[in-house]
Each structure stands twice: as structure tokens, then as C-alpha cells.
Amino acid sequence: MSEEKAQGEESNVSPWLRLDTRGGAIVWSIILLVAPFLAYGPVTAVVGDELQAGRIIAAVYMVGLCAAWTFSYIFRVGTKDMTYSKQLKAYEDAVIAKRFEELQEDEVEALISDLEGDQPKIPGTSEKDKKVKGSGWRPDQY
């Protein structure tokens, strides 16, 4: 439900202005290429020297772009929106799905009943037997 809302909200923005579309990449690339040329006239008028205005624009432009890229990278790492993270998540989901397919019917029913909270009572088991002994790690987990 929340994904549908997020997709609905994103669709309100024109595809030409969204950064995750080809149109948005083209438009924003053009804007970033033209912006320094448009700023050259006003900066020259304020500073008075054309060479100094060019240096100021180049410095501000490059520092700004480097800072924006760095902050976007840190944000993507923090939210795990990286290619590796997505591939790892897809791989883990595929492994879980494959293992679920390999389960027998009675094992699937047992898992479903565990998830629903209807744990079957097995004679001879007690609360003491349910505790994990050792590290809990098994080589076949991965």
C-alpha cells in the first residue's frame, strides 16, 4: 500500500524533471551545462573583471558539483540504495525462494503454522528443549 502511494506521488512530477528517468538525465545535464554560461554575465558585472568572474564561476561550479555528488553518494550508502545492496537482496530472496520450493509439504505446513502462531505440540518436548544450544550457527544456513 505504501509503495503504491509512493509511486502515485512520484508520477505527479514530470518524467522530464525526475532524476531517475532518461528525460530527466538529459534535461538536468543540459541545465548543468548551461548554468555557468548564464551566470557569467551577472558575475562579470558584479566583479568587474572577466577573468576573475570566470575563475569564481569555475570554482563555485566544481566545488558545488563535487559536494553534491559526495552527499548523494553518502545518502545512497546510508539508505542502502547501491547496486551491490540491491543485487545482494535479490540474491538472498532468490535463495530463500529456492529453499522454500525444496521443502516438503509437511515442512511447509509446519512453517505456515509457526508463522500463524499455531505451533503444533510435539509430545516429549518442553520449554527447556526449545532453547538454542551452542552458537546457533549452522553451515547450511548460507
Give the pLDDT confidence of 9-64 residue by residue, as tens digits.
Answer: 556 888 888 888 899 999 999 999 999 999 999 999 999 999 999 999 999 999 99
d(Cα 12, Cα 27) in Å, to the nearest integer? 17
> Given this model, what pLDDT does residue 117 score?
74
Q: What is the pLDDT of residues 84-115, one digit of tens each?
A: 888 898 999 999 888 888 888 888 888 888 88
Does 137 fall in a domain? no
User: Is 17 found in the same domain as 72?
Assistant: yes
d(Cα 16, Cα 14) in Å, to the nearest integer? 5
State yes or no: pLDDT of 71 exceeds 70. yes
User: Is 92 found in the same domain as 68?
Assistant: no
> Given this model, what pLDDT does residue 1 score?
44
User: Is 72 found in the same domain as 96?
Assistant: no
pTM exceeds 0.75 = no
Does 10 fall in a domain? yes
Does 23 fall in a domain? yes
User: Is 9 found in the same domain as 65?
Assistant: yes
State yes or no: pLDDT of 2 exceeds 60. no
d(Cα 16, Cα 25) in Å, to the nearest integer? 8
Range of the domain at 29: 2-80
User: Is 87 found in the same domain as 76?
Assistant: no
